[in-house]
């Protein structure tokens, strides 16, 4: 069971849109619509932003959206705001009652 | 609002057993709708799933940690616990407990999203 692959960093200017990819395999992302995304600010616990590929929890801005194609899931943030600057992690069900996280992506809002 | 709080020693000696407890408040650990999990994060690194437990006592562990991990639940005290044996410096991390959604897909149940988290507790492995 290997970690999902995310870019180490992405950046964007306020108002722009960015996407963060999360690549897995046919044993995890490719087989289940059970991908979630977490935002983590320094010194804080992670917070779920997207679950089951594209569902948004109550209270999360509709600027956050999720999608999946094959073995790759994506998180898109539109209308970037300075408060979006954080680390983002994807997570997927990986079969046999196991979970796997991505390595994390640091988002910088320039 | 449901809350989770981790507790346990902040310092563990190498080769000994790390023990942590997560106490759930304002909600029942015996809910049939949720599982309960542990996630850890070494300093400056990413998140790693450690394991998950159901109120019935069913457990699911990370393959990489399976030989050293034990989780158990105490429904009378509304808490669940983690034990990690034979620790080394590589086990130094912030340990989070979290609630996980239980999802039904085609009449089969799956562990899913970590939707509520504790604040985390730092555990250092050092002599």
Burial of B41 (0-12, 13-18, 19+ CB in 10 A): buried
pLDDT in tens, A62-84: 999 999 999 999 999 999 999 99
CA distance B93 to chain A (A): 13
What value does the mean pLDDT take over residues A6-14?
Answer: 98
Structure tokens at B99: 């609630």
At B88 the pLDDT is 98
Ranges of residues in chain B whose predicted pLDDT is under 50:
none
CB of A39 within 8 A of CB of A102? no
At B35 the pLDDT is 98
CB of B111 within 8 A of CB of A93? yes
At B107 the pLDDT is 87
SS3 A50: strand
Task: Measure CB to CB from residue B60 to each of A34, A91, A98 and give the nearest one.
Answer: A98
CA distance A80 to chain B (A): 23
At A1 the pLDDT is 76
Distance CA B79, CA B67 (A): 23
Whether residues B60 and A97 touch (CB distance < 8 A) is answered with yes
At A3 the pLDDT is 93
Q: Which residues pair with B100 in a beta bridge?
A: B35, B114
Give CA angle at B93 (B2, A105), nearest 5°. 80
Q: Is the pLDDT of residue A31 over 90?
A: yes
Structure tokens at A55: 């569902």
At A38 the pLDDT is 98
Torsion of CA B62, B99, A60, A87, to 10 degrees: -40
Best CA proximity match to A68, nearest among A31, A27, A43: A31
pLDDT in tens, A35-64: 999 999 999 999 999 999 999 999 999 999
**What is the residue-averaged pLDDT of chain A?**
97
Distances (CA, A) of A88 to A26, A79, A105: 22, 17, 5
B 75-114 → A contacts, CB under 8 A: 96, 101, 103, 105, 110-114
Tally of CB atoms within 10 A around B82: 23
Torsion of CA A24, B88, B51, A20, to 10 degrees: -30
CB of B102 within 8 A of CB of B35? yes
Q: Is the pLDDT of residue A4 over 90?
A: yes
DSSP string, A64-79: EEEEEETTEEEEEE-S
């Amino acid at each position: 069971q290997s970690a999902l692959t995310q870019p180490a960093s992405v950046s964007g200017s306020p108002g722009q849109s960015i996407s963060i990819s999360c690549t897995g395999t046919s044993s995890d992302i490719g087989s289940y619509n059970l991908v979630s995304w977490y935002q983590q600010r320094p010194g804080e616990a992670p917070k779920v932003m997207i679950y089951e590929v594209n569902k948004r929890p109550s209270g999360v801005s509709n600027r956050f959206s999720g999608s999946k194609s094959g073995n790759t899931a994506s998180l898109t943030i539109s209308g970037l705001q300075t408060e979006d600057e954080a680390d983002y992690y994807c997570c997927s069900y990986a079969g046999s009652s196991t979970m796997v996280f991505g390595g994390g992506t640091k988002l910088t809002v320039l | 609002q449901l809350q989770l709080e981790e507790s346990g020693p902040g310092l563990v000696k190498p080769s000994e057993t790390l023990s942590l407890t997560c106490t759930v408040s304002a909600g029942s650990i015996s809910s049939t709708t949720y599982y309960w999990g542990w996630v850890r994060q070494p300093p400056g690194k990413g998140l790693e799933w450690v394991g998950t437990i159901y109120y019935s006592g069913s457990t699911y562990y990370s393959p990489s940690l399976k030989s050293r991990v034990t989780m158990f639940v105490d429904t009378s005290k509304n808490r669940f616990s983690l034990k990690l044996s034979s620790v080394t410096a590589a086990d130094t991390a912030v340990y989070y407990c979290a609630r996980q959604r239980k999802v039904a897909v085609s009449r089969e149940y799956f562990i899913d999203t970590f939707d509520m988290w504790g604040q985390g507790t730092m555990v250092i492995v050092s002599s």
